[in-house]
Amino acid sequence: MALDERLRREIERAGEPGDPSGVYEDLIRRHERLRVARRLRSGALTLVVVAGTVVGVVGLARVFGGGEDPPKPPLRPVSPGPMENGLVAYTTGDAIRVQGVDGSKARTIPAPEPGLAWHVAWAPDGRHLAVAIFGDPGRSLWVIRDHGGDPVQIAEADNVSRPSWHPDREHLVFSTTSDGTTEIHVTSSDGTDDRIVYSEAAPGTYAVFSASFSPDGSQILFDAGTDSGYDIFVMDADGSNVRRLTDTGSDYNPSWSPDGSQIVFTRQEAASESDIFVMDAEGSNVRRLTDDDGSFTNLDAQFAPDGLSITYEAAKQGGTGPVMVMGADGSNPELLVAVHVLGFSWQPVAPDASVEPSPGPSQEVGKDIGLGFPVCDLTSVAGVFAPGVEGTAWVATKTGDAGCPSLGDGMQVVAVDVSGDGTADTSFGPLECDPWCSAFAAPDVDGDGTDELLIQNIQFSIAGLRLYDVRSDPQATVAPVTVSSPGYPGEDLAPGAEPQLWIGGDAFDSETLRCFEDESPPAGPGRVLVQTSATQVPPDSPDAMWHATATWFDLQPDGTVTIVDHFDFEEPVASPSFAQRNPLCGARLPAPFGG
Amino acid sequence: MRVDEVALREFLHTSYPRLVAAVALVCGSRPAAEDAVQEALLRAWERSERGEEFESINAWVTTVALNHARSGLRRIIVERRARSRLQTPVIASPPIGDRIDIERALATLPRRQREAVVLRYYLQLETREVATALRVNEGTVKSTLFRARAALAEALGIHDTEEANDRGTR
């Protein structure tokens, strides 16, 4: 028998196929846990933004000695340059999709929160999207990267409109309606600067339904409920000088042409029948562009970035429909996106970025924390890394030439401010992150009055923790601890190895870490018990038991650790855990993502 | 190609059993193999949700699962978790006959040779596909397999004449 054949047969006999039963359900459970973690992270970011705004406003009010907001500088008009048509983004309720017009490069972008993904709008840099999520009961507006990362919530209301970007990329305009009041907001893309430029009582359907910046950002176009229905208005970007452009009572959803000379809009002609019309910017010379039969509800018309064509949704009977594209004069309508969409936007692309740079990712500088290069995707934790000094430790991603890499890509480093001046005094990297590291906690492991640093490497269903030793004297240093001689053979930890302790199973956060500071620890000056791989048995039951593994660290003066012990233990999940009574020797926990 | 719930179900019913077996042959631990393949599937799903497309889900998951299975400490944790679920220590049934021979023989091979042999002879991948999965060039795979075959022939007591005949048929 040929050797190859014999090997094949013997290895075939040796292989025991895995049993897939129950695996799907387990994957769904673990995946859902990840989604919850992501939502918590983006929610935490929102809290930071809101808190930052409140603190900022209060602080400024004190400085100026009054209770009113300080005057805000007006938005600067921008000369719009010619643009070309890039990718298209559309929403189908359960997904945000991006693709080329030929269907190439199709990808799905994760929504920033649960709910129906509805309105979508590309930023002028072509790398960010504003997305409206229709949840139950509220609706929210988010700015995300075009890969779905870095979500920032900028609005929440009973209803929000399709957002429109200012050409400076730093502001958006949109309308909200809540508690009988309708408002037009001009808000910065990081959510920190929110100005209400138009507000009125809106009983019933008397609400502002859309708002969009003119191509130069100097004016805002909107529709609003009137006694006769809906009509189209325009005003200056600061909310002054409101002018009415139509008075049919059936016009809504207006949108500018890229050169600002035309406005395309929807006119409702019968119950569920509507068509697309265009008019000159001052409201004259109205022309019909579509004339479909009564079953069509053509709406959401927008000029393509190059201004040569117009897209619209050809909905049926007021429902959803595919995206059509036609000439700017209404000629040659044809199918652009076959699936039924809720929202649509065409990516603007500068024709020659080298001649006229767009404020795109290549100019995105990230944050400067004193490393000599910009960083993004920051996580941080406060700690005392030098005696008596409140400092900060960050885990950050180096911003590349193409901007902030996708979460999990790019080089990550740890940086520490030991002097308390807000900038890094020392750093270590690149970190071994697969796929992504973040600051986890700053415990005082050895009880010397200064903190060490725990960084977690999130590997989806489990996370690996590494301990970093931070010093300030004679100079600032941060470095991973290594196992001291003779190692810990029982766990494959050789001298010099960087111990990585896994937390996972059903134990995923800082409460899985324990400190035996006041209990009866094994001998040794430094004592942190890391609980690993805790699993609830049976899962999600009040009678469940933690089946956990624990490891004792003993941090030596030379920055190495002795593994004192490593063992399994059990305890009731429902009982007040030691972690709740004494979480990690009072370790500081990380700031929300982005902090 | 996207990884969604439908693709996951399909993968679990078609590719999962043999891939778990293959990874277990490489790393010597069935719980670690199950964990590694499931982790790889989760990652593929996560990446797909971020918009990533896969040319071949099987190839990607195979590569990532083998990478996962390399972590010795992680293997220990996973096995403890498996024991915890079962409430009793996992006592593997002793392999018999040819199985013990081939498992022992595989265990004597360097990691990379073991991976190449299992991918080639158990998953029956072409050398080009083995190269893709192991992120090496095809020539490296061929030389790795050549050395692995020779080592296995010796470990399994396959006579030189068989080996020579085998070479002669190629």
DSSP for B150-161?
A: HHHHHHTT--HH
| Confidence band of A60 (pLDDT split at 50, 70, 90) | very low
Q: What per-residue confidence (pLDDT) applies to B110?
A: 83
In chain B, the residue whose alpha carbon lies closest to the alpha carbon of A505 is: B81
CB B162 within 8 A of CB A1: yes
Cα gap B170→B163, rounded to integer Å? 11
pLDDT: is A86 or A360 the higher one? A86
What ranges make up the beta strands (E) of A491-594?
501-504, 513-514, 528-537, 545-555, 560-572
Q: Do A98 and B51 touch (CB under 8 A)?
A: yes
Cα gap A89→A6, rounded to integer Å? 54
> CA nearest A453: which of A399, A506, A504, A413?
A413
> Is B42 near chain A, with CB under 8 Å?
yes
Q: Do A13 and B98 touch (CB under 8 A)?
A: yes
Q: What per-residue confidence (pLDDT) applies to B102?
A: 80
pLDDT: is A517 or A557 the higher one? A557
* H/E segment holding residue A5: helix A3-14
Chain segment A431-441, per-residue pLDDT in tens: 887 667 888 88
Q: What per-residue confidence (pLDDT) applies to A406?
A: 62
pLDDT: is B165 or A422 the higher one? A422
Sign of torsion over alpha carbons B68, B73, B75, B78: negative
What burial letters (b/e) apply to A297-320, b meaning 16+ CB within 10 Å? bbbbbbbbbbbebbbbbbbeeeee
User: Within 10 A of B143 (CB to CB), how many other CB atoms are there?
Assistant: 12
Query: Counting one residue from A and one from B, how many pairs have CB atoms under 8 Å apart?
Result: 159
Chain segment A307-318, per-residue pLDDT in tens: 999 999 987 766
Chain segment B86-115, per-residue pLDDT in tens: 433 333 444 444 445 787 788 888 888 889
Average pLDDT over residues A47-53: 26
* Chain A interface disruption, residue of B6, B50, B158, most A CBs within 10 A: B50
CB A84 within 8 A of CB A305: yes
Chain segment A449-477, per-residue pLDDT in tens: 888 898 887 665 566 788 899 999 889 99
To the nearest whole Å, the CA of A169 is away from the closest chain B CA by 23
Q: What per-residue confidence (pLDDT) applies to B157?
A: 78
User: Mind giving me the DSSP string for A207-263?
Assistant: SEEEEEE-TTSSEEEEEEEETTEEEEEEEETTS-S-EE---SSBEEEEEE-TTSSEE
CB A169 within 8 A of CB A147: no
Cα gap A183→A174, rounded to integer Å? 8
What burial letters (b/e) apply to A76-103, b meaning 16+ CB within 10 Å? ebbebbebebbbbbbbbbeebbbbeeee
Q: Do A7 and B162 touch (CB under 8 A)?
A: no
* Chain A interface disruption, residue of B54, B67, B84, most A CBs within 10 A: B84
The torsion of the CA quartet B106, B112, B115, B119, rounded to 10 degrees, works out to -120
Q: Is pLDDT at B53 greater than 50 in this prediction?
A: yes
Q: Is pLDDT at A290 greater than 90 in this prediction?
A: yes
Phi and psi dihedrals of A199, rounded to 5? -155, 135
User: Within 10 A of A583 (CB to CB), how many other CB atoms are there?
Assistant: 19
As to burial, measured by CB atoms within 10 angstroms (0-12 exposed, 13-18 middle, 19+ buried), residue A321 is buried
Q: What per-residue confidence (pLDDT) applies to A98?
A: 87
> Is B123 near chain A, with CB under 8 Å?
no
> Is B129 near chain A, with CB under 8 Å?
no
Strands A139-145 and A128-134 come out as antiparallel
Domains of chain A: residue spans and CATH: 84-349 (2.120.10.30), 362-586 (no CATH)
> CA nearest B117: which of A332, A7, A293?
A7
To the nearest whole Å, the CA of B65 is away from the closest chain A CA by 13
Cα gap B99→A161, rounded to integer Å? 66
Would you call the peptide bond into A486 cis, given omega within 30 degrees of 0 as the criterion?
A: yes
Cα gap A396→A376, rounded to integer Å? 6
Cα gap A213→A260, rounded to integer Å? 10
Q: What per-residue confidence (pLDDT) applies to B18?
A: 93
Q: What per-residue confidence (pLDDT) applies to B79?
A: 52
Selected residues 2-21 of chain A with any CB under 8 Å from a CB in chain B: 2-4, 6-8, 10-20
> Is A287 near chain B, with CB under 8 Å?
no
Q: Do A3 and B149 touch (CB under 8 A)?
A: yes
Q: Which residues of B touch A108 (CB under 8 A)?
A: 2, 48-49, 51
The first and second tokens of residue B79, run together, are: 């096995």
Average pLDDT over residues B118-123: 90
In chain B, the residue whose alpha carbon lies closest to the alpha carbon of A464 is: B74
Q: Do B53 and A13 touch (CB under 8 A)?
A: no
Cα gap B11→A20, rounded to integer Å? 9
Q: Is pLDDT at A540 greater than 60 in this prediction?
A: no
Cα gap A141→A163, rounded to integer Å? 8
* Chain A interface disruption, residue of B102, B117, B122, B165, most A CBs within 10 A: B102
Q: Which of A195-199, A260-264, A337-341, A487-491 is the most confident on average?
A: A260-264
Strands A482-483 and A560-572 come out as parallel
pLDDT: is A41 or B56 the higher one? B56
Chain segment B3-50, per-residue pLDDT in tens: 888 888 889 999 999 999 999 998 888 888 888 898 889 888 877 877
State the average pLDDT for chain A: 77
Distances (CA, A) of A131 to A162, A165, A518: 8, 12, 50
| Confidence band of B135 (pLDDT split at 50, 70, 90) | confident
- For a pLDDT cut of 70, what percent of chain B falls above it? 75
Asked which of A386-390, A473-477, A532-536, A548-552 is least confident by mean pLDDT, the reply is A532-536
Chain-centroid distance of CA A456 in Å reads 20
* Chain B interface disruption, residue of A9, A11, A488, most B CBs within 10 A: A11
- Which of A11, A491, A547 lies closest to B102 in CB terms? A11
Q: Do B51 and A3 touch (CB under 8 A)?
A: no
Chain segment A482-510, per-residue pLDDT in tens: 989 888 876 667 888 888 776 655 554 44
Q: Do B39 and A460 touch (CB under 8 A)?
A: yes
User: Within 10 A of A286 (CB to CB), how many other CB atoms are there?
Assistant: 16
> Is B122 near chain A, with CB under 8 Å?
yes
Average pLDDT over residues A57-61: 24
> Is B117 near chain A, with CB under 8 Å?
yes
> Is A32 near chain B, with CB under 8 Å?
no
Q: Which residues of A touch B81 (CB under 8 A)?
A: 505, 533, 535, 547
Sign of torsion over alpha carbons B35, B40, B46, B49: negative
> CA nearest B41: which of A59, A26, A232?
A26
Judged by DSSP in three states, A88 sits in: strand
To the nearest whole Å, the CA of A283 is away from the closest chain B CA by 42
Cα gap A538→A565, rounded to integer Å? 27
Q: Which residues of B touch A462 (CB under 8 A)?
A: 74, 77
Find residue A551's DSSP bridge partners: A530, A566
For chain A, the C-alpha Rg in angstroms (whole number) is: 29
- What lies within 8 Å, CB to CB, of A386 at 6+ separation is A418, A419, A420, A450, A472, A473, A476
Chain-centroid distance of CA A238 in Å reads 29
Selected residues 78-97 of chain B with any CB under 8 Å from a CB in chain A: 80-81, 84-85, 95
Q: Do A10 and B101 touch (CB under 8 A)?
A: yes
Q: Is pLDDT at A306 greater than 50 in this prediction?
A: yes
In chain B, the residue whose alpha carbon lies closest to the alpha carbon of A96 is: B51
Contacts of A565-571 with C-beta under 8 Å, sequence gap 24+, read A565/A522, A566/A488, A566/A490, A566/A491, A568/B80, A568/B84, A570/A545, A570/A546, A571/A545, A571/A546
User: Mind giving me the DSSP string for A127-171?
Assistant: SEEEEEEE-SS-EEEEEEETTS-S-EEEEEESEE---EE-TTSSE
CB A586 within 8 A of CB A514: no
Q: What per-residue confidence (pLDDT) applies to A295?
A: 73
- For a pLDDT cut of 90, what percent of chain A falls above it? 25
Complex prediction ipTM: 0.78
Distances (CA, A) of B40 to B33, B63, B124: 11, 9, 20
Q: Which residues of A touch B166 (CB under 8 A)?
A: 2-4
- Which of B20, B41, B74 lies closest to A27 in CB terms? B41
As to burial, measured by CB atoms within 10 angstroms (0-12 exposed, 13-18 middle, 19+ buried), residue A284 is exposed
Q: Do A532 and B77 touch (CB under 8 A)?
A: yes
Cα gap B150→A161, rounded to integer Å? 70
Q: Do A461 and B38 touch (CB under 8 A)?
A: yes
Q: Do A535 and B84 touch (CB under 8 A)?
A: yes
| Confidence band of A354 (pLDDT split at 50, 70, 90) | very low
The residue count of chain B comes to 170
As to burial, measured by CB atoms within 10 angstroms (0-12 exposed, 13-18 middle, 19+ buried), residue A509 is middle
- What lies within 8 Å, CB to CB, of A65 at 6+ separation is none
DSSP secondary structure letter of residue B40 = H
3-state helix, strand, coil in chain A (%, to 5): 10, 45, 45
Q: What per-residue confidence (pLDDT) applies to A63?
A: 24
User: Within 10 A of B23 (CB to CB), how many other CB atoms are there?
Assistant: 28
Q: What per-residue confidence (pLDDT) applies to A595?
A: 40
pLDDT: is A435 or A95 the higher one? A95
User: Within 10 A of A484 (CB to CB), how many other CB atoms are there?
Assistant: 19
Asked which of A115-119, A168-172, A328-332, A465-469 is least confident by mean pLDDT, the reply is A115-119
Q: Do A435 and B43 touch (CB under 8 A)?
A: yes
Domains of chain B: residue spans and CATH: 1-92 (no CATH), 95-170 (1.10.10.10)
> CA nearest A452: which of A557, A370, A594, A563?
A557
Q: Which residues of A touch B20 (CB under 8 A)?
A: 17-18
To the nearest whole Å, the CA of B135 is away from the closest chain A CA by 17
Q: Do B38 and A27 touch (CB under 8 A)?
A: yes
> CA nearest A231: which of A248, A207, A255, A219?
A248
| Confidence band of B58 (pLDDT split at 50, 70, 90) | confident
Sign of torsion over alpha carbons A251, A252, A253, A254: positive
Q: Is pLDDT at A46 greater than 70 in this prediction?
A: no
The residue count of chain A comes to 595
